[in-house]
Amino acid sequence: MNAHSSKMPQAISILGSTGSIGVNTLDVVRRHPGRYRVLALAAHRSVDVLAGQCAQFDAEFAVIGDASLAGNLAQALADRHCRAQVLAGAEGLAEAATLPDAEIVMAAIVGAAGLTPTILAARAGKKVLLANKESLVIAGHIFMQAARDGGATILPVDSEHNAIFQALPAAFADGLESVGVERIILTASGGPFLDLPVSQLRDVTPSQACKHPNWEMGRKISVDSATLMNKGLELIEAHWLFNAAAEQLEVLIHPQSIVHSMVAYRDGSVLAQLGAPDMRTPIAYALAWPERIEAGVKRLNLAAMTDLSFREPDVQRFPCLKLAVEAMREGENMPVALNAANEVAVQAFLDSRIRFDQIPGLVGRTLERAQRQPVNTVQDILHHDAMARRHAGEIMQTMT
């Protein structure tokens, strides 16, 4: 008998339910009726998709981040005869993250916008399924402290961190050295422009940048994968999640996206997690941990795999990776400035206001203007985040 089958369904709040991770989470949840119950679903502006999801999963709460759309959401729910109660704005997101009945919170809002609700879920002692890497990048120590204070369980959803979590022994929290870990190796596909001549990067379009060779993801993370900023953000994420020093973290390009990351041990062993590039595997692992559940994912055909290759990243081609490593080493507010400048730059590129090859320059120049200062509270972080966004906007005006 499944160890879970005699229990009540676990209630889940999904923050960012209309996005790529949110939709994949609902797909896994749908496969396990009786095991999970959708309590709250939250989005920013996608009223119709959100209302449709709430009706389909019989959610109790429908949450819209943009409070001006609360009336539209209520109407869209009524049209679908859905009983969900509407919550709105930052307060609504905070409530969805901390509902007393919610055992599991999927943190899948994109960008720094996810910070406050994700921290609140941790402080409320939830089982937090962490997709919103930006929370850890900009507020790593505050987030990890909130999780300790609240007694939360943090389960990484990012495929690399999920792989590393699977390859580490449970006692890793006492220190990587105490469990014999030498290095954590994050793999990176290299994105759609891995082998494009560098001179052609200036002409690539948003749709080309969002067309990842192996993964289907939201637009922001797709551009981050094309610049390798995504891997830089993931290094900072790993630094906090696994209490790893910068010297213990390494990036390797692995174009096939089959090995999702590795842990190298003192005795020469390297443990890797393999799987099809499908986010439903890490989502299902985090949902059911420490059990394993069916996720609808295509099985690997190992015998048909003739090429699993690894190589060092080219920092000339991917300057964003270097900027992220420097920000991680400097610490304090520098990762906040890095993330904010990157969010501004990626949005500007997606809106065709800057070129792809201008993204690293905009981030780099914003970092040059940031003065290194301690960050102790969420307010400090929001302050530095706003300042870096303003600087990035000003620098962008001067770019041609």
Ligand X SMILES: NC(=O)c1ccc[n+]([C@@H]2O[C@H](COP(=O)([O-])OP(=O)(O)OC[C@H]3O[C@@H](n4cnc5c(N)ncnc54)[C@H](OP(=O)(O)O)[C@@H]3O)[C@@H](O)[C@H]2O)c1
Q: Which residues contact ligand X (rule: CB under 6 A)?
A: 16-22, 43-46, 65, 93, 108-110, 113, 131-134, 158, 215, 217-218, 220-221, 279
Nearer to ligand X, 61 or 395 (CB): 61
Choose between 217 and 362: whose C-beta lies nearer to ligand X.
217
DSSP 130-183: E--HHHHHHHHHHHHHHHHHHT-EEEE-SHHHHHHHHHS-GGGGG-TGGGTEEE
Cβ 154 to ligand X shortest distance, Å: 14
Q: What is the DSSP string of 320-336?
A: HHHHHHHHHHH-TTHHH
Omega before residue 360 within 30° of 0, cis: no
Of the pair 109, 336, the CB lying nearest ligand X is at 109
3-state class (DSSP) for residue 40: strand
Phi and psi of 118, rounded to 5°?
Answer: -70, -40
Place of tokens 């994105």: 191
Closest separation in Å from C-beta 310 to ligand X: 20
Mind giving me the DSSP string for 337-385? HHHHHHHHHHHHHHTTSS-GGGHHHHHHHHHHHPPP----SHHHHHHHH
Minimum CB distance to ligand X smaller for 388 or for 395: 388
Closest CB to ligand X among residues 35, 133: 133
Q: How far is the CB of 16 from ligand X (least distance, A)?
A: 3
- Tokens 């790993």: give the residue: 238
Contact 16, 131 (CB under 8 A): yes
Considering the complex, what minimum distance in angstroms separates the CB of residue 114 from ligand X? 6
Q: Quote the least distance from Cβ 315 to ligand X, whole Å.
A: 22
Q: How far is the CB of 121 from ligand X (least distance, A)?
A: 14
Q: How far is the CB of 51 from ligand X (least distance, A)?
A: 11
Distance of CA 226 to the CA centre of its chain: 16
Per-residue exposure over 11-42, b if at least 16 CB sit within 10 Å of its own CB, e if not: bbbbbbbbbbbbbbbbebbeebeebbbbbbbb
Least distance from ligand X to the Cβ atom of residue 151, Å? 24
Q: Which is nearer to ligand X, 60 or 134 (CB)?
A: 134
> Residue 17 or residue 273: which is nearer to ligand X going by CB?
17
Q: C-alpha angle with apex 164: 160 to 168, nearest 5 degrees?
A: 175
Q: Which is nearer to ligand X, 131 or 194 (CB)?
A: 131
- The DSSP string of 193-236 is TTTS-GGGGGG--HHHHT--SS----HHHHHHHHHTHHHHHHHH
Instruction: Write down the H helix ranges in 261-333.
Output: 280-288, 319-330
Helices (H) and strands (E) counted in the chain, each on its own, are 15, 11
Element (DSSP H or E) covering residue 249:
strand 249-253
**Given its phi and psi angles, is residue 65 left (phi above 0), alpha (psi -120 to 50 degrees) or beta?**
alpha
**Residue number with the smallest Cβ distance to ligand X:** 19
Tell me the closest approach of the beta carbon of residue 386 to ligand X, in angstroms: 14
Taking the least distance from each CB to ligand X, the nearer of 44 and 123 is 44
Smallest distance from ligand X to CB 261, Å:
12
Cβ proximity to ligand X, 20 vs 358, nearer residue: 20
